[in-house]
Chain A
Amino acid sequence: GQQLNQSPQSMFIQEGEDVSMNCTSSSIFNTWLWYKQDPGEGPVLLIALYKAGELTSNGRLTAQFGITRKDSFLNISASIPSDVGIYFCAGLNTGNQFYFGTGTSLTVIP
């Protein structure tokens, strides 16, 4: 099956710092999605990207759909304690199948 390589695996940052994480694949995706999972909860959609090159923001979050359609990144600016959680990228292929990354665990130190 198609694999998404998500990095970094974990991050420990100080409150107020910016965060950057990314996903790469050897396969092309038509849609890239970024989810956040809070402890004890299921993943919640943060940002959806539908076109190569698209750059989309949602508050302090910004995500981009790579030009090659094989990668995407998510940036979080001015992190706050409630940003703690696991962030997953996901790609949707032409067969409407979702593939998720392995997750980036974010810890924000107040």
Chain B
Amino acid sequence: EAGVTQFPSHSVIEKGQTVTLRCDPISGHDNLYWYRRVMGKEIKFLLHFVKESKQDESGMPNNRFLAERTGGTYSTLKVQPAELEDSGVYFCASSIGQGAYNEQFFGPGTRLTVL
């Protein structure tokens, strides 16, 4: 069974540009999460989809970030316009259900560098 995949693995863009990150969850996983780790800091929750609906987007930093999950399959996270502080590793995770007993499986992450 394929795991969570993310594309691209690395992205280097200039401040002010737009970048779109993609996540393909494990097939059949209704729950999809986005996280971000700024270098040396904690992994921070961004948002949580259940199928195509946003269950919790309390971690989204500001309105330059837009996440979508049309059709309830893959998800995209767009940053527009990108700022220097957006640099970091963006992780996607998926799970069958929610809560403590439903393991979240993480993708390898997209390393975003904003110059």
Contacts and interface: CB of A to CB of B under 8 A. Distances in A.
Interface of A: 3-4, 6, 30-31, 35, 40-45, 48, 50, 88, 90, 92, 96-103
Nearest to B91: A42
The secondary-structure label for the interface of chain B is loop
Contact of B108 (A35, A40, A48, A90): A40
A96 B100 CA distance: 7
Interface stretch (B39-47, B60-68, B69-77, B79-87): B39-47
B43 A100 contact: yes
B4 A102 contact: no
A43 B91 contact: yes
A41 B100 contact: no
A102 B91 contact: no
Contacts of A3: 42
A-B pairs with the 6 shortest C-beta distances? A42-B106, A100-B43, A31-B100, A100-B42, A102-B42, A43-B106
B106 A92 contact: no
Give the interface SS of chain A, mostly helix, strand, loop or mixed: strand
Interface string B29-62: 0000001000011111100000000001010000
Interface residues of B, number: 23
13 contacts: A31-B100, A42-B4, A42-B107, A42-B108, A42-B109, A43-B43, A44-B106, A45-B104, A88-B43, A97-B56, A100-B42, A102-B40, A102-B41
Contacts of B107: 42
Contacts of A98: 45, 104
A41 B108 contact: yes
A65 to B, nearest CB: 12
Contact of B45 (A45, A50, A97): A97
Nearest to B6: A42
Contacts of B101: 50
Nearest to B9: A40
Nearest to A95: B56
B45 A92 contact: no
